[in-house]
Structure 1
Amino acid sequence: MLLRKLAAGLRNAPAWQQAVAERLASSTLCSTSGRASESPAFGTLWAQLHSRFASSNASGLKAYKPTTPGFRGRVITSRKDLWKGGPFKPLTEGLSRSGGRNSQGIITARHRGGGHRKVYRELDLARGEGTTAAVVQRLEYDPNRTAHIALVKHKDTEPGVALRQQYSYYLAPQGVQEGDVMYSGVDAPILPGNSLPLSAIPVGTAVHNVELRPGQGGQLGRAAGTSCTLVKKGDDGYAVVKLPSGEQRLVLSRCMATIGVLSNPQNKNVKLGKAGATRWSGRRPRVRGVAMNSVDHPHGGGRGKSKGRISQTPWGKPTKGYRTRSNPRTDWAIRMSRHKAART
Structure 2
Amino acid sequence: MPLIKHRPSTAGLRGKISFKKKYAKRQKVRGLIVSQKGPVARSRGTVSMRHRSRGVKKSYRVIDFKRDKYDIVGKVAGIEYDPNRGSSIALIFYKDGEKRYILHPKGLEIGDFVVSSRGVVDPKPGNSGPLSNLPLGVQVHNVELHPGRGGEIARGAGNFALITAKEGKYCTLKLPSGEIKKLQAHCLATVGVLDNEEIKNISYGKAGIKKYLGRRSKVRGVAYGNPRSHPHGGSYKTSGVGRKSPVSPWGQPAKGFKTRRRTHTNKYIIERRKK
Identify if the C-alpha distance between structure 1 residues 108 and 115 changes in structure 2 by more than 3 Å, giving closer, same or farther.
Answer: closer
- After TM superposition, give the deviation of residue 231 of structure 1 in Å: 1.5
Q: Distance in 2 between matches of 1:86 and 1:324?
A: 45
Q: Distance in 2 between matches of 1:85 and 1:183?
A: 23
Work out whether residues 62 and 101 of structure 2, in 8 Å CA contact, stay in contact via their aligned partners in 1. yes
Q: How is 1:1-344 mapped onto 2 (pairs within 5 angstroms)?
A: 59=2, 61-80=3-22, 82-85=23-26, 87-98=28-39, 107=47, 109-128=49-68, 130-155=70-95, 157=96, 166-185=98-117, 186-235=119-168, 237-292=169-224, 293-302=226-235, 304=237, 306-309=240-243, 310-338=245-273, 341-342=274-275
- Counterpart secondary structure, 2:164: strand
Tell me which protein shows more strand as a share of its residues. Answer: 2
- After TM superposition, give the deviation of residue 131 of structure 1 in Å: 4.5
Percent identity of equivalent pairs: 40
Residues 8-65 of structure 1 show CA distances to partners (whole Å, capped at 9, x for unaligned) of xxxxxxxxxxxxxxxxxxxxxxxxxxxxxxxxxxxxxxxxxxxxxxxxxx52x33444
Identify if the C-alpha distance between structure 1 residues 234 and 326 changes in structure 2 by more than 3 Å, giving closer, same or farther.
Answer: same
- After TM superposition, give the deviation of residue 107 of structure 1 in Å: 4.1
- Counterpart secondary structure, 1:312: coil
- Counterpart secondary structure, 1:90: coil
Work out whether residues 39 and 54 of structure 2, in 8 Å CA contact, stay in contact via their aligned partners in 1. no
Q: Distance in 1 between matches of 2:128 and 2:109?
A: 16
Query: What is the number of equivalent residue pairs in this alignment?
Result: 270
Work out whether residues 128 and 256 of structure 1, in 8 Å CA contact, stay in contact via their aligned partners in 2. no
- After TM superposition, give the deviation of residue 211 of structure 1 in Å: 0.5
Q: Which amino acid aligns with 1:112?
A: R
Q: Distance in 2 between matches of 1:120 and 1:223?
A: 16
- Unmatched 5+ residue regions in structure 2? none
- Counterpart secondary structure, 1:287: coil
Partner of residue 38, structure 1: none
TM-score of the two chains, using structure 2 as the length reference: 0.90
Greater RCO structure (CA 8 Å; 6+ sep): 2
Identify if the C-alpha distance between structure 1 residues 294 and 86 changes in structure 2 by more than 3 Å, giving closer, same or farther.
Answer: farther
- Unmatched 5+ residue regions in structure 1? 1-57
Q: Which amino acid aligns with 1:302?
A: S
Residues 211-251 of structure 1 show CA distances to partners (whole Å, capped at 9, x for unaligned) of 1122211000000001001111111x111111111112221
Q: Distance in 2 between matches of 1:131 and 1:73?
A: 49
Q: Which amino acid aligns with 2:205?
A: G
Q: Which amino acid aligns with 2:257?
A: Y
Q: Distance in 1 between matches of 2:106 and 2:209?
A: 27
Q: Pairwise CA RMSD of aligned residues? A: 2.2
Identify if the C-alpha distance between structure 1 residues 131 and 320 changes in structure 2 by more than 3 Å, giving closer, same or farther.
Answer: farther
* Bigger radius of gyration: 1
Q: Distance in 2 between matches of 1:115 and 1:277?
A: 10
Tell me which protein shows more helix as a share of its residues. Answer: 1
- Counterpart secondary structure, 1:278: helix
Work out whether residues 129 and 196 of structure 1, in 8 Å CA contact, stay in contact via their aligned partners in 2. no
